[in-house]
Amino acid sequence: MKYRITSKGDGVHYYGYDENYESNKIVHEVIKVGGWFFLAKRKLTGLNYSGNPIPKKDLIFVTD
C-alpha cells in the first residue's frame, strides 16, 4: 500500500493518507526516525513507532 505523506511542520511527525484517500479518508500517524518513516502507535508515553519502516517506494510526498 502506498501512503501520501504530509508534514505536521516539525520534520519528525507526519500524516499518512492511504493512496486512495479521496474515497477512503483513513489517516495514519507517521514518524520519521533516522531517515526512515514508520507507522506510529499511540502508547501511554505518547506516539512510538513500531514494526518495519515503510519502504521508500511506497511513499508519495505531498506539499501544501
Residue ranges per structural domain of the chain: 3-61
Reported pTM: 0.78
Are the C-beta atoms of residues 18 and 25 closer than 8 Å to each other?
Answer: no
Instruction: Kindly tell me if the per-residue pLDDT of 64 is higher than 70.
Output: no
% of the chain residues with pLDDT over 70: 89
CA angle centred on 57, ends 53 and 61, rounded to 5°: 90
Q: Give 7: exposed, middle or buried? Use CB within 10 Å, 0-12, 13-18, 19+.
A: middle
Read off the pLDDT of each residue in 3-15 and give the average, rounded to a whole number. Answer: 89
| Between 15 and 46, residue with greater pLDDT | 15
Q: Give, in degrees to the nearest 5, the angle at Cα 60 between 3 and 22.
A: 55
What is the pLDDT, as a whole number, of residue 50? 78
Identify the pLDDT of residue 4.
87
Distance, C-alpha 46 to centroid of its chain? 16
